[in-house]
């Protein structure tokens, strides 16, 4: 888990947006994780519509969480009700940490306010419902993904011994029919492998990448469906992509397909007992969780922007390509990975400054999508 080293909350409050996170298995995992983050959890509340709270009724009872129904109106009131109770709890009681179980971007201003009050703020969300760039607003973000492991293959039938032909004359001898093999998933096409590599170029280096980041990028590009099971989909391309560690993976590695041997080895079928797989929860931390910072005066925001622009004037396109030579290929690359590498190479003082550089050289770099970019491409 992405537990912050050296910090244990004395008094924590947990607030659940049931309209956004209403998976019982995921919430069980959240409370199991919070036991190591806090000495005491005094506030436990869940907000949502009646049908949303009904789906997690058992887990709320198991962990002593108070359900709070929405008001009967023509608009959803979950977010504002949760926000009011968070502010009231922090102002009236000595709460030093708040856990928000939701991936909704509407709670970003609340997280900023909590950090300004000196609270540690944690976010727990399903990986397919989290908004972009959550680590800028929370001290730690834990992404959850409910994964159904791939079921073991069905046992192969025992070979049927050949039957001797009958003594009565027949027009032609009838041969014994061969056993029908068990159907297997269709292998992933080569062009699909290339689409995965183009969507997430960092895989080409052969180094393990975070599975949540790869899956989020593939879903954003439309390569992987929203409701498609991750392990089932990647099981079709096992020679090219390897999920680590087994049996509950949280990383993925690309490896070139090996040439098959000239003489295939025959393996006798082994009976396997089919075991119904149980759902598992994968979780992993944000690569660089942000820290609380003091509030900047409003009149200094303009001066800060000017100073950043002056500091970045000496950075050229050649400096960027020298620090990140993978950009010269001309493929889309993950913006966070490129920004981190520029920071590690000493080109920029902070990974967040990379957007100023790319916005300055619009004829050389393309940010995708333009409004909230998460990828960059070198145009040559």
Tell me the percentage of the chain whose pLDDT exceeds 90.
Answer: 23
Could you read off the pLDDT of 33-79 as tens digits, one per residue? 898 899 999 999 999 988 889 999 999 999 999 999 887 665 678 88
- pLDDT band of residue 312 (cuts 50, 70, 90) is low
Can you tell me the distance from the alpha carbon of 28 to that of 108, in angstroms, rounded to the nearest whole number? 24
**Given a cut of 90, is residue 276 above it in pLDDT?**
no
Average model confidence (pLDDT) across the chain: 77
Domains along the sequence of the chain with CATH: 12-146 (3.40.50.1010), 190-259 (no CATH), 300-378 (no CATH)
Query: For residues 118 and 34, is the Cβ–Cβ distance under 8 A?
Result: no
Confidence category of residue 379, pLDDT binned at 50, 70, 90? confident
pLDDT score for 97: 95
282, β-bridge pairs: 145
CA distance 12 to 86: 11
The residue assigned the tokens 């000239």 is: 262
Q: Strand pairing partners for 15?
A: 45, 100
- Provide the 3-class DSSP secondary structure of residue 317: helix
Residue 255 or 89, more confident = 89
For the ranges 144-158, 214-228, 241-255, 278-292, the lowest mean pLDDT is seen at: 278-292
**pLDDT at 184 > cutoff 90:** no
Number of other residues whose CB lies within 10 A of the CB of residue 343: 18
Owner of token pair 């041969």: 175
Residue-wise pLDDT for 100-132, tens only, equals 999 999 999 999 999 999 999 999 999 888 888
Beta bridge partners of 254: 241
Per-residue CA distances from 286 to 2, 100, 119, 144, 352 (Å): 7, 16, 19, 12, 15
Query: Of 188 and 57, which is predicted with more confidence?
Result: 57
Asked whether residue 363 carries a pLDDT value surpassing 50, the answer given is yes
Average pLDDT over residues 256-272: 57
Angle at 232 between CA 267 and CA 55, to 5 degrees: 140
Question: Between the CA of residue 86 and those of 13, 22, 28, 219, what are the distances in Å?
Answer: 8, 19, 22, 33
Predicted pLDDT at 292: 56
Q: Per-residue pLDDT for 2 more than 50?
A: no
Position 163 pLDDT exceeds 60: no
Give the residue with greater pLDDT, 216 vs 92.
92
Residue 1, SS3 per DSSP: coil
What pLDDT score was predicted for residue 257? 63
pLDDT of residue 64: 93
Q: Any idea of the CA torsion for 48, 52, 55, 61, to the nearest 10 degrees?
A: 10
- CA 378 – CA 318 distance, rounded (Å): 11
Question: Under DSSP, is residue 251 helix (H, G, I), strand (E, B) or coil?
Answer: strand
Lowest mean pLDDT among 8-12, 172-176, 220-224, 266-270: 172-176
Ranges 38-42, 160-164, 171-175, 210-214, most confident: 38-42
pLDDT given at position 185: 47
pLDDT category, 211, cuts 50, 70, 90? confident
Res 329: pLDDT: 83
Provide the pLDDT for residue 125.
92
6 has pLDDT over 70: no
DSSP tag of 30: H
356 touches 312 (CB < 8 A): yes
């Amino acid at each position: 888990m992405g537990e912050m080293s050296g910090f244990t909350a004395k008094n924590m409050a947990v607030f659940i947006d049931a309209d956004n996170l209403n998976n019982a298995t995921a919430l069980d995992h959240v409370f199991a994780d919070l036991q190591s983050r806090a000495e005491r959890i005094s506030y436990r509340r869940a907000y949502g519509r009646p049908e949303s709270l009904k789906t997690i009724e058992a887990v709320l009872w198991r962990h002593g969480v108070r359900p709070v129904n929405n008001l009967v109106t023509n608009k959803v009131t979950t977010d504002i009700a949760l926000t009011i109770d968070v502010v009231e709890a922090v102002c009236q009681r000595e709460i030093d940490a708040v856990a928000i179980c939701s991936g909704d971007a509407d709670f970003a201003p609340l997280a900023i306010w909590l950090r300004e009050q000196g609270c540690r703020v944690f976010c727990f969300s399903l990986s397919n419902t989290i908004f972009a760039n959550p680590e800028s607003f929370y001290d730690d973000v834990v992404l959850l993904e409910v994964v159904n492991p791939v079921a073991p293959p069905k046992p192969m039938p025992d070979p049927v011994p050949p039957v001797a032909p009958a003594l009565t004359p027949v027009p032609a001898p009838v041969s014994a029919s061969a056993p029908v093999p068990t159907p297997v998933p269709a292998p992933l096409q080569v062009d699909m492998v290339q689409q995965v590599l183009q969507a997430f170029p960092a895989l080409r280096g052969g180094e393990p990448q975070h599975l949540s980041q790869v899956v989020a990028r593939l879903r954003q590009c439309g390569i992987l469906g929203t409701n498609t099971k991750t392990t089932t989909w990647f099981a079709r391309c096992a020679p090219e992509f390897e999920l680590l560690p087994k049996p509950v993976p949280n990383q993925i590695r690309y490896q070139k397909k090996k040439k098959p041997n000239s003489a295939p080895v025959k393996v006798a079928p082994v009976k396997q007992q089919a075991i119904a797989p149980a759902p598992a929860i994968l979780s992993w931390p944000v690569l660089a969780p942000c820290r609380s910072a003091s509030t900047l005066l409003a009149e200094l925001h303009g001066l800060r922007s000017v100073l950043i622009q002056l500091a970045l004037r000496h950075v050229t396109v050649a400096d960027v390509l020298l620090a990140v030579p993978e950009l010269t290929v001309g493929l889309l690359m993950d913006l966070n990975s490129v920004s981190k590498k520029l920071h590690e190479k000493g080109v920029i003082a902070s990974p967040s400054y990379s957007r100023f550089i790319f916005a300055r050289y619009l004829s050389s770099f393309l940010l995708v999508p333009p409004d909230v970019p998460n990828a960059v491409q070198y145009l040559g």
